[in-house]
Chain A
Amino acid sequence: DTAVSQTPKYLVTQMGNDKSIKCEQNLGHDTMYWYKQDSKKFLKIMFSYNNKELIINETVPNRFSPKSPDKAHLNLHINSLELGDSAVYFCASSRIGGGGPFFGQGTRLTVV
């Protein structure tokens, strides 16, 4: 069983569209994250969600909105997609107290 799974793995869409990326973890972790990896491989935290408390990174445009229906799921919805949103988006989860988050396989988003 995959610990952290994301769908879809690839997503190609036009500018202005709205899209969602889904993430599920079966590890029983309390905290989930979304990271963005740009074309230079730099990883930056976007959001973390801990027991229904959302911590927003202020540098993330409000077109990005995470939604967590339950502790095992954290989806990412993106409105009005722009060319600059093209990147690989990683979902991750961890347990309270640290230990290093587990990452999903990533979603490669391409906006054309």
Chain B
Amino acid sequence: AQSVTQLGSHVSVSEGALVLLRCNYSSSVPPYLFWYVQYPNQGLQLLLKYTSAATLVKGINGFEAEFKKSETSFHLTKPSAHMSDAAEYFCAVTPPSGNTPLVFGKGTRLSVIA
């Protein structure tokens, strides 16, 4: 079975500081990996995805993530946090074949301090 672990249920950064949200996966086959963002009282929006092409993936809103097989990690980063980045972030995993539903991590709440 596949799973993801998000380290840190809550991360707080200052405006303009580096954002680093951690995600480690467990999978018996090379997986597809995703990061979603959820703003308060809204649905989930896809930030970026890794689907076995380039290991460094760029997404929307200045976010990027790097797939590291040796570390089984897919950490999300952004060089400079904005107040508008405050939200809940979810890492998710699925095998590359078929339409197996995503398995989500427990989420990391990002707070941005002015």
Mark contacts of B51-65 with chain A using CB atoms, 8 A cut-off: 1 yes-contact digit, 0 otherwise: 100000000000000
Q: In the complex the two chains form, is B107's CB within 8 Å of A103's CB? A: no
Q: Give Cα distance in the complex from A40 to B102, angstroms.
A: 18
A33-B101 in contact given A41-B107, A99-B49, A102-B46 (Cβ < 8 Å): yes
User: For residue B100, which residue of chain A has the nearest CB?
Assistant: A48
B73 CB within 8 Å of chain A: no
Q: In the complex the two chains form, is B90's CB within 8 Å of A100's CB? A: no
Which residues, 60 to 114 on B, are CB-close (under 8 Å) to A? 88, 90, 94, 96, 98-99, 101-104, 106-107, 109
Q: How many residues of chain B get a CB closer than 8 Å to chain A's CBs?
A: 25
Counting residue pairs across A and B whose Cβ atoms lie within 8 Å, the total is 55
Quick one: which of A30, A33, A94, A103 contacts B43, CB cutoff 8 A? A103
User: For residue A34, which residue of chain B has the nearest CB?
Assistant: B101
Q: Which residues of A contact B38 (CB under 8 A)?
A: 41
Q: Which residues of A contact B88 (CB under 8 A)?
A: 41
Mark contacts of A70-112 with chain B using CB atoms, 8 A cut-off: 1 yes-contact digit, 0 otherwise: 0000000000000000000010101010111111111000000
A45 CB within 8 Å of chain B: yes
B28 CB within 8 Å of chain A: no
Quick one: which of B42, B90, B98 contacts A43, CB cutoff 8 A? B90
Q: Which residues of B contact A48 (CB under 8 A)?
A: 99, 101
Q: In the complex the two chains form, is B51's CB within 8 Å of A31's CB? A: no
B25 CB within 8 Å of chain A: no
Q: Which residues of B contact A4 (CB under 8 A)?
A: 43
Q: In the complex the two chains form, is A41's CB within 8 Å of B106's CB? A: yes
Taking Cβ atoms with an 8 Å cutoff, the residues of A that contact B are 4, 30-31, 33, 35, 40-45, 48, 50, 90, 92, 94, 96, 98-106
